[in-house]
A = this chain, B = another copy of it.
Amino acid sequence: MMDIQKQKKLEEAGWKIGNAEDFLELNQVESSFIAVKIALSQHLKARRQLLRLTQKEFAGMIHSSQSRVAKMEAGDPGVSLDLLVKSLLTLKTPQEDIEKIFP
């Protein structure tokens, strides 16, 4: 269940949640989707740290920038799933780790 408190917190963090006129169904999809992205970003940070890479080093590996890596790991709403998954693939994240993420 998506309670009001949680929705407010996400909106403060910059996420756009659909308004009340949207289908409840869609809201559920949106919140699941956000949960997936946040889980991936946490996995990414943990994995980078495990491999003892700085954000700058890792940014080089994916031809990106330190600031974008920071945003990825912070769960910034303006980061695509595409970039997160490419990043995890680059770090050879084991399948078992990715599997558990989807709701």
Which residues in A have some Cβ–Cβ distance to B below 8 Å? 25-26, 29-30, 32-33, 36, 63, 80-82, 85-86, 89-90, 95, 98-99, 102-103
Contacts and interface: CB of A to CB of B under 8 A. Distances in A.
Contacts of A99: 99, 102
A29 B83 CA distance: 11
Nearest to A28: B89
| Oligomer: number of copies | 2
B89 A29 contact: yes
B81 A85 contact: yes
A99 B97 CA distance: 10
Q: Which 6 pairs across A and B sit closest by C-beta, in order of nearness?
A: A81-B81, A99-B99, A81-B82, A98-B102, A29-B89, A29-B90
Nearest to A36: B85
